[in-house]
């Protein structure tokens, strides 16, 4: 049984991964033993109610000593690093705390993994890190670089790059659903705004695919993402309510976001339904062909939108 420790594991992404793989079996035995390292007491309690066999550690990734002690005690086979400040507007208003959490905290995870000789550590990144234009994006871009810099065959470091995860706490879909159920106004910054989105289950699958690829190719550090569809946010809002107010863009917000940039295409490789980005240039015949952004991606249809809102 492999031991997986998830930083921020009581959050939406960590919980989604646990939900999908908690009962996974291999040769008649459970595949994984889960540990979470989180600071949200309410979320931890809710997670323990659902999954009582998880060991939960209350901790902050900014506390290097506690992080090292935890990693050395547990000796995880895999660390999944999800803990971060994730909201663009909050990061713009709090750049110091964002840097402390998303950059210094990520570096602490790297140091703890190296100290405890963790075989594989997976960092969770975002489309905001591709051609960054806001504090959150810059912090995650630096995290990607830190992880790839420290990769070696004994302590591997890789990343996944997400688009918007539909049900993340405090994000637009759960916020709008709650407002719509109360017949309150839905606030949208711009009718032209488009976003690449996928579900929590797809996010969990992407993380596991990154683990699989790294096990097959241990010498390589990479960022793993996937082709996904885009949704116009005004169209999405109209499915939920007709009571919509346009309020103007917030600091750090873009009308469209890029998941794979033109600059990254020479370093990309297509694998199954996924896209890898390496530090080294790849053979042209294996590369992803065009920039992938919320402006250029295939648009969601009504069935896709219904799946997001389910």
pLDDT tens-place string over residues 27-86: 788 999 999 999 988 999 999 999 999 999 999 999 999 999 999 999 999 999 999 999
Which of 128, 140, 220, 226 is the catalytic position?
128
Q: For residue 29, what pLDDT is reported? A: 87
Cα–Cα dist 23/174, whole Å: 27
Average model confidence (pLDDT) across the chain: 94
The answer to whether the beta carbons of residues 270 and 209 sit under 8 Å apart is no
Question: Quick check: 167 pLDDT over 80?
Answer: no
Q: For residue 252, what pLDDT is reported? A: 85
- Listed by start position, the domains of the chain span 2-164+198-226
Taking only the tens place, the pLDDT of each residue in 38-47 is 998 899 999 9
Question: Quick check: 170 pLDDT over 70?
Answer: no
Residues 6+ apart with CB under 8 A from 308: 166, 173, 197, 199, 231, 236, 300
Question: Quick check: 310 pLDDT over 80?
Answer: no
Question: Quick check: 156 pLDDT over 90?
Answer: yes
Q: For residue 61, what pLDDT is reported? A: 98
CATH number, domain 2-164+198-226: 3.40.50.720
- For the segment 129-137, the average pLDDT, to the nearest whole number, is 95
Residues 6+ apart with CB under 8 A from 286: 269, 270
Q: For residue 60, what pLDDT is reported? A: 97
Cα–Cα dist 245/223, whole Å: 37
Question: Quick check: 7 pLDDT over 70?
Answer: yes
Taking only the tens place, the pLDDT of each residue in 249-270 is 888 888 999 999 999 999 999 9
pTM for this structure? 0.94
Whether 128 sits among the annotated catalytic residues: the reply is yes
């Amino acid at each position: 049984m492999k031991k997986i420790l998830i930083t921020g594991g009581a959050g939406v992404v960590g919980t989604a991964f646990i939900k999908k793989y908690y009962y996974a079996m291999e040769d008649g035995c459970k595949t994984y033993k889960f540990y979470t390292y989180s600071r949200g007491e309410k979320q931890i309690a809710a997670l323990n109610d659902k999954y009582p066999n998880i060991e939960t550690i209350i901790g902050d990734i900014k506390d290097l000593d506690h992080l090292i002690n935890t990693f050395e005690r547990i000796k995880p086979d895999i660390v999944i690093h999800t803990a971060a400040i994730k909201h663009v507007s909050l990061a713009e208003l709090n750049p110091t705390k964002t840097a402390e959490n998303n950059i210094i905290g990520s570096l602490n995870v790297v140091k703890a993994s190296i100290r405890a000789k963790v075989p594989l550590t997976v960092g969770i990144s975002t489309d905001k890190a591709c051609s960054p234009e806001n504090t959150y994006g810059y912090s995650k871009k630096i995290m990607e670089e830190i992880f790839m810099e420290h990769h070696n065959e004994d302590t591997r470091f890789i990343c996944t790059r997400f688009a918007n995860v539909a049900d993340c706490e405090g994000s637009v879909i759960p916020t709008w659903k709650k407002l719509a159920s109360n017949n309150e106004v839905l606030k949208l910054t711009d009718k032209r705004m488009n976003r690449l989105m996928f579900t929590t289950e797809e996010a969990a699958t992407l993380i596991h695919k990154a683990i699989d690829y790294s096990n097959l190719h241990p010498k390589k550090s990479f960022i793993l993402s996937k082709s996904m569809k885009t949704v116009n946010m005004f169209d999405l809002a109209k499915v939920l309510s007709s009571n919509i107010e346009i309020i103007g863009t917030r600091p750090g917000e873009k009308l469209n976001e890029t998941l794979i940039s033109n600059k990254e295409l020479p370093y990309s490789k297509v694998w199954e339904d996924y896209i890898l980005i390496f530090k080294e240039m790849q053979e042209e015949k294996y590369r992803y062909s065009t920039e992938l952004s919320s402006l250029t991606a295939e648009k969601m249809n009504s069935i896709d939108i219904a799946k997001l809102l389910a």
